[in-house]
Structure 1
Amino acid sequence: MIFATFIGVDKHDKCVTFAAFLLSHEIIGDDTWAFNNLKKSMERNAVVIVTDQCPAMKVNIRNAFSAENGLHSIKHRLYMSYIMQKFPIKLGNHLCKETDFMEKMKAYIWSSVLEIDEFEIGWK
């Protein structure tokens, strides 16, 4: 079974586990009950949910936390570590492993004070 947690940051900037659940499969609708119970207990939608690139999760989040339920719509984002693992697959091993491209890219990706213009210049 798949163990999933809802971890967030409280108003004191401390990490807090809000909920946890077990999934028997990663299929559309399998985690709907967990999302519905989370919304019910919080009495609102979460602001952001960060996940891996599971297609079922993307659909479930969009359905469960949409603006149609009378609450604010949620933002769904992917884990940065997951994105970084995908770079060699998407861009090719030569570019990522045999050049200094990844080291240069990491400097721009992991910078917390980088402006959009600076990123664009670095990307070029």
Structure 2
Amino acid sequence: MSEVTVRKQRPKHLAINEIRLPLPGIVSILHRVSGAGLFLLLPFLLYLLDRSLGSPESFATFEAVVGHPLVKLILIGLLWAFLHHFCAGIRFLLLDLHKGLELQAARNSSRIVLVVSIALTVIIGVKLW
């Protein structure tokens, strides 16, 4: 008998643009990114809190800073980051309690986290804008 060796075509490089992450993986990565963003922008939030509570003059500075459209967009992004981090955190706590570990339940809870965080961001953002 002759042995036939089959050589598989293996990629020479990792094509990151071809990798498709499942929805629970995307929610997990967004949870980490939102947590890092909230942590890194904490000095900005503390500055805004200081300006809003210091004196009437510093409150006028706060109003001027927050009134700028770019700052409003940053604050809406922070609002989304907080809401997503909160909703995903609840999801991960439930996963730690072994609730929703099945594939379909994990996908559904990921969809719920994305929909709820975006919906709450839109609702609160419209009210605050």
Q: Give the structure with the higher percent strand.
A: 1
User: TM-score, normalization: structure 2?
Assistant: 0.29
Q: Quick check: which has more Rg, 1 or 2? A: 2
TM-score by length of 1: 0.30
Greater RCO, 1 or 2 (C-alpha within 8 Å, sep 6+): 2
